[in-house]
């Protein structure tokens, strides 16, 4: 009897439902992307400054100790109720250390207006800083605080990214609301269509706060779930690495960036380098479904 080799095809690796942030390089990579996008850009100076801010975020993240995660009972309660494990209302006090470190590092590089805002933040007491954080995280910042908010947001991103990175993906579960982060409950800033063995061509939404990502089927509106009235818009002359996914059912949009068009795309940096695309789809009557926290406060008014 002749033996046949076993034709064994191991099952394709199951695509990850969640991608947790890689803290060693996340903000440094984003800084590099801001630098690259700034070249020849009409908002180049601003993008360069955001690169410096991202680099300061990486330093602040590197200096953060491990942070306490919610206890087992809280995690179980969140799981049973279909809630994300992190509650942004419980912001670790370490966020203020992150902010002061960012303010200190940026002070020397910042243009005059930003430098005076950073000096104000560096001198602010804990209560004032917590007031700014609460206002930002509750989505109700005061109009007079607009200049402070990108820096407050940057520091909050640092602590929530650290917290998110301490989870194991098995501790997360998909939420009913596709546009909301399964780790911290914040809205997505944009989607990324990824390259890579088990995740090739899959679309992941990227959290505006904690930098976690979660898989959602492509060509589905992440606000109202329809797959019928979704279209992609892009700027004339664009190479297709950044598009706006618009939905005619609910009139919302969110941007989507494609790693196969440019492997270095970043959902936060590429979003801010394509504000002209926001203007285009805003004028066509679509409203953005999730904020970019480095531009928070700029949407109103």
Residue window 212-241: x/- pattern of binding to Zn ion, with contact defined by CB under 5 A: x--------x-xx-----------------
Give the separation between CA 180 and CA 118, rounded to whole angstroms: 31
Closest CB to Zn ion among residues 175, 250: 250
Residue list 248-267, contact with Zn ion (CB under 5 A)? 249-250
Of 9, 30, 79, the residue nearest 273 (C-alpha): 30
Among 64, 163, 184, 193, binds Zn ion (CB under 5 A): 184
Smallest distance, Å, CB 65 to Zn ion?
20
Among 53, 110, 247, 268, binds Zn ion (CB under 5 A): 247
Smallest distance, Å, CB 156 to Zn ion?
11
User: Do the beta carbons of residue 33 and residue 264 sit within 8 Å?
Assistant: yes
User: Do the beta carbons of residue 244 and residue 277 sit within 8 Å?
Assistant: yes
181 lines the binding site for Zn ion (CB under 5 A): yes
- For 301, the token pair is 């008014």
Closest CB to Zn ion among residues 38, 184: 184
Residue list 28-87, contact with Zn ion (CB under 5 A)? none
Of 203, 228, 231, the residue nearest 217 (C-alpha): 203
Give the separation between CA 51 and CA 33, rounded to whole angstroms: 8
Q: What are 193's strand-pairing partners? A: 203, 258
Which residues contribute to the site for Zn ion (CB under 5 A)? 181, 183-184, 186, 207, 209-210, 212, 221, 223-224, 247, 249-250
């Amino acid at each position: 009897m002749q033996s046949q080799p076993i034709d064994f095809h191991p099952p394709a690796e199951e695509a990850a439902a969640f991608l947790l942030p890689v803290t060693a390089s996340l903000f440094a990579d984003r800084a590099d992307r801001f630098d690259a996008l700034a070249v020849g850009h009409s908002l180049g100076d601003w993008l360069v400054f955001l690169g410096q801010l991202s680099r300061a975020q990486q330093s602040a993240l590197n200096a953060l100790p491990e942070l306490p995660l919610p206890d087992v009972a809280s995690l179980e309660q969140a799981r049973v109720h279909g809630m994300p494990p992190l509650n942004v209302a419980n912001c670790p006090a370490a966020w203020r250390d992150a902010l002061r470190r960012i303010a200190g590092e940026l002070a020397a590089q910042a243009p005059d207006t930003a430098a005076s805002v950073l000096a104000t933040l560096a001198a602010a007491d804990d209560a004032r800083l917590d007031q700014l954080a609460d206002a930002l995280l509750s989505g109700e910042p005061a109009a007079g605080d607009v200049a402070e908010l990108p820096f407050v947001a940057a520091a909050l991103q640092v602590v929530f990214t650290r917290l998110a990175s301490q989870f194991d993906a098995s501790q997360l579960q998909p939420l009913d609301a596709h546009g909301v982060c399964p780790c911290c409950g914040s809205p997505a800033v944009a989607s990324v269509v990824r390259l890579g063995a088990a995740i090739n061509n899959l679309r992941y939404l990227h959290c505006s706060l904690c930098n976690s990502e979660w898989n959602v089927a492509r060509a589905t509106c992440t606000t109202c779930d329809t797959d019928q009235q979704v279209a992609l818009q892009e700027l004339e002359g664009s190479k297709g690495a950044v598009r706006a996914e618009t939905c005619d059912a609910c009139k919302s949009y969110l941007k989507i960036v494609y790693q196969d068009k440019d492997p270095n795309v970043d959902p936060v940096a590429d979003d801010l380098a394509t504000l002209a695309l926001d203007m285009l789809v805003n004028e066509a009557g679509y409203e953005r479904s999730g904020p970019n926290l480095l531009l928070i406060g700029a949407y109103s008014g």
